[in-house]
Structure 1
Amino acid sequence: MSIRPHSSVPMLTTPHRKGTPMELISKRLTLRPWLDSDAPALYNLARSPKVGPAAGWTVHESVGQSLDILRNILRGPEQYAITLRDTGELIGAIGRRIVKLSATSPGRPRWPS
């Protein structure tokens, strides 16, 4: 299976410089930096016992708690809010983390010499 960008939709919409948040747009979704104004929508998702615990999170108890989590966890480097492109509705979160492994890192395959 290959993934190709939709020909009429740019995948990178903001100039990207190291340390500058990106906004990625597909035909149906937008991945963008988190905003304080996302707190009520985040709370509406995260207050459900079917959402948070499945991801290892506790159920959010207030918009204030969601705002605190948004500011201190979700707004980290390479962390994005997932929204529907047409409506802007928040539907989730995604993050990217690059881990550099050394030759002695646990879990790294060892090749015969």
Structure 2
Amino acid sequence: MPWLLLALAIASEVTATTALKLSDGFTHLGWTTLTALGYITSFILLAQALKLQLDMGTAYAVWAGAGTALIALIGAAFMGESLTPFKIGGILLIIGGVVVLNLAATP
């Protein structure tokens, strides 16, 4: 259950960050509202996942790392942002770091 909550927190954060880009500096009420609701929902779900005994460092690394990687991919796929070899390398390093933290967290 805590991993499901964490996955939902990541999805909410990615939705909020995408809406933030689309809000055009908070000038579009709908996207601005979705941004605020997405971030609030994400933090609530992350807090609940932590409450259910996920390690704080691991949970935050997964939340932040997966969100960062997904946002970079969404930016490249749908928002016309570049996806250079350096960005791909960075995404792979983030994923590798999250995997190492997860392996280190298991007793």
> TM-score band (shorter)?
under 0.3
Whose helix fraction is larger, Structure 1's or Structure 2's?
A: 2
Specify the structure having the higher radius of gyration (Cα): 1
Whose strand fraction is larger, Structure 1's or Structure 2's?
A: 1
Higher RCO structure (Cα 8 Å, ≥6 apart): 2
Normalising by structure 1, report the TM-score: 0.22
Normalising by structure 2, report the TM-score: 0.23
